[in-house]
Structure 1
Amino acid sequence: MRLPRAVTRRHLLTGGAAAVALPSIADAQPNWPDRPITLVVPFGAGGGNDITARTLGQFLERELGQPFVVQNRPGAGGEIGINAVADSRPDGYTFGILNTPGLVTIPIERSPRWSLDSFSFVASLVDDPAVIGVHAQSGIASLADLITAARREPEVITIATQARGSTSFLSVRMLEMAAGISLTPVIYNALPPGVLAVAQREVRGAAANLGEALVMTASQSFRMLGVMADERSSLDPTLPTFREQGIDVAIGSLRGFVGPRGIPLPILARLTAAIDKVSKDPEYLEVCRRTQQPLRIMLGDAYVAHLRDADIRFRAMWRQKPWI
């Protein structure tokens, strides 16, 4: 796990994304928080973002003395929930567990009513890398086998993914571009139907986040071919990265704690300190390990710098091979 850096005022200034203090709101909230805080999740209950929100919310309640009420707002690939966060009053009582790539790719695909400059970025929390796998009896035993088969039969190998612009869909596109192959993504509205499709041999494989894929491998019908990360994951250190296998790609679902632009700096400072403290709590770390949440804590400006870099990379990818 990458431990957070010390919290400074600079960590709370996010290049235009969170630095505007509103004295009237700050003056009105000297005892923040004095009521429950809403935590928006742009996806349905039970998914990765939902688990991250509910886990962190329980520990932040201990630190801040108020409950965090999770509000699931699914739809439009996460855009509905992101809208709810961007449009909320910046008084420190509404935040969201928002994730990349959607936070970056949606403004590339279309014109939502928000951009990265619409938010206060408090901290990244979890970075769940992408994996691609196949049915255990597919005859494909390695990433090299998959690439060889795809070169032999372009567009024949089907891979279950979720929506265009999602981590799973983009992971397939990135593999195609890096390896010079053509696969056929088959889009499902959620992971479980895609998992079932692999088990029933309706598709040859599936793309997912590692935390999700570990559940799939428990049935012994799914063989992961590698993880799309800079280094091997603590969730499964035996799984090689794509880079180790000669394919230079890395992508994952980075979940972060985000509020609307303009939250007063004193509130951000207290919240950031609380997240910093929780992220070092052995009990929290153990819960995250058991629930397969690979932590990656970046505070304030470090988190924003990562998002800005991702924006550059995905825009370059869009120009080369649009995913919609």
Structure 2
Amino acid sequence: MLAPFMTLLTLFVTMIGGPAAAAFPDRPVTLIVPFAAGGSTDVTARMIAPYIEKNLHAGARVVVSNIQGGGGDVGFATISGAIPDGHTIGFINTPSFLTIPLERQARFDPKLFDPLVAIVDDPSTVVVPAGSAIATPVDLVAFARTTPQKASFATTGVGSDEQLSMLKLQELGGVRFVHIPFPGGAHIYRALRNGNVMVAGMNLSEALRAREEGRITILGQMSRNRHPVAPDLPTFREMGFDIAMGAMRGIAAPRGLPDDVRQVLVDAITAAAADPDFQAKAKATYQPLRILGPDAFADELTAMDRDYRALWAVSPWSDR
């Protein structure tokens, strides 16, 4: 009789006084942004981080960390190389997340990521400094044709949506631009303001914020139809250039998360993105929200990867 009694006693002591497993997260969660501070991804990350915190347990912290380099390569590699315990997550951005491994020996493998929640689907735009004589894509193509040595085009790097849109515009217009890659959107904006470049690719959200300051003119948006956040802005298709390009931004983790930790993160990020306060702030800063769960996010990435591989096979791009 003593043995069963001792077993029950041990179980009882463990239940009331034994060490309990630490609730996830048991230290700050690092949310990596693979680009410089001030750009569109950074704005989204810093805006949503407090709402992710709010939907984790009391006292949880989410810390945004910018790890730039290689057009996203360094930051993506930092995410995939982290211990898969949920304490390091980060933004992945198309197309660069999918195009970098096509172009060169990448530091990361997209297969080693676990897509959690897509948050933003941001069309590309082309912008010029306010006061520029270039007012339309037709003007831009004409300028590049007559003065190609001055037609500098700033992007966030090789394989970015800005560069791919530039290459498409070159193809359709029969011209060439001088490609100047920058670490992030904030750097591009400074270069435009300082007169170091004459035209740049930007995502719609950051272009609309910059337009509010009166520093730039947006030549058009590259969505298939006019986006609700910018109904006044014509599409490139409307102006005779069949270009649809943009960047999807969402949060992923290194593959291999424990199931319970993964579910906690998915639930917290989804609830954060659906929070009315977050959505109001997103609207005020022109964030084109498109919330997708893990399966739908993964399906989108698979479809995009197929499309970019097909494009690369026919017309490989480079730093030109």
**1:322 aligned onto 2:314:** no
* Amino-acid identity (%): 37
Distance, in Å, in 1 between the alignment partners of 2:253 and 2:190 is: 36
Look up the match of 1:19. Answer: none
Which one of 239, 243, 255 corresponds to residue 249 of structure 1? 243
- AA in 2 matched with 1:41: V
Closer, same or farther in 2 for the Cα pair 1:212/1:61, shift >3 Å? same
Mapped contact 1:37–1:94 kept (Cα < 8 A): yes
Distance, in Å, in 2 between the alignment partners of 1:31 and 1:227 is: 45
- AA in 1 matched with 2:317: P
Unaligned runs of 5+ in 1: 1-27
| Number of residue pairs matched by the alignment | 297
Matches within 5 A, 1:198-277: 198-199=192-193, 201-277=195-271
Look up the match of 2:12. Answer: none
**1:48 aligned onto 2:40:** yes
**1:83 aligned onto 2:72:** no
Look up the match of 1:59. Answer: 51
SS of the residue 1:160 aligns to: strand
Mapped contact 2:137–2:239 kept (Cα < 8 A): yes
SS of the residue 2:274 aligns to: coil
Distance, in Å, in 2 between the alignment partners of 1:33 and 1:189 is: 31
Distance, in Å, in 2 between the alignment partners of 1:176 and 1:67 is: 46
Q: How far does the alpha carbon of each residue in 1:175-232 deviate from its partner, in whole angstroms, 9 at most, with x for none? A: 2234443333233444455445444555432211122222332343422111111222
Mapped contact 2:161–2:247 kept (Cα < 8 A): yes
The normalised TM-score by structure 2 is 0.82
The normalised TM-score by structure 1 is 0.82
- AA in 2 matched with 1:131: T
Q: Which has the higher contact order (CA 8 A, sep 6+)?
A: 1
SS of the residue 1:64 aligns to: coil
How far residue 104 of structure 1 moved from its aligned partner, in angstroms, is 0.7
Look up the match of 2:171. Answer: 177
Q: How far does the alpha carbon of each residue in 1:257-291 deviate from its partner, in whole angstroms, 9 at most, with x for none? A: 10011112232223222322222221110111223
Mapped contact 1:170–1:323 kept (Cα < 8 A): no
Deviates more, 1:144-153 or 1:72-81: 144-153
Deviates more, 1:230-239 or 1:60-69: 230-239
Mapped contact 2:30–2:64 kept (Cα < 8 A): yes
Distance, in Å, in 2 between the alignment partners of 1:278 and 1:202 is: 38
Closer, same or farther in 2 for the Cα pair 1:198/1:54, shift >3 Å? closer
Q: Which has the larger radius of gyration?
A: 2
SS of the residue 2:312 aligns to: helix
Closer, same or farther in 2 for the Cα pair 1:180/1:304, shift >3 Å? farther
How far residue 105 of structure 1 moved from its aligned partner, in angstroms, is 1.3
- AA in 1 matched with 2:55: E
Distance, in Å, in 1 between the alignment partners of 2:310 and 2:83 is: 34
Which one of 167, 181, 187 corresponds to residue 187 of structure 1? 181
How far residue 108 of structure 1 moved from its aligned partner, in angstroms, is 0.8
Distance, in Å, in 2 between the alignment partners of 1:316 and 1:153 is: 33
Distance, in Å, in 2 between the alignment partners of 1:75 and 1:204 is: 24
How far residue 129 of structure 1 moved from its aligned partner, in angstroms, is 1.7
Look up the match of 1:104. Answer: 98
SS of the residue 1:216 aligns to: helix
Unaligned runs of 5+ in 2: 1-19
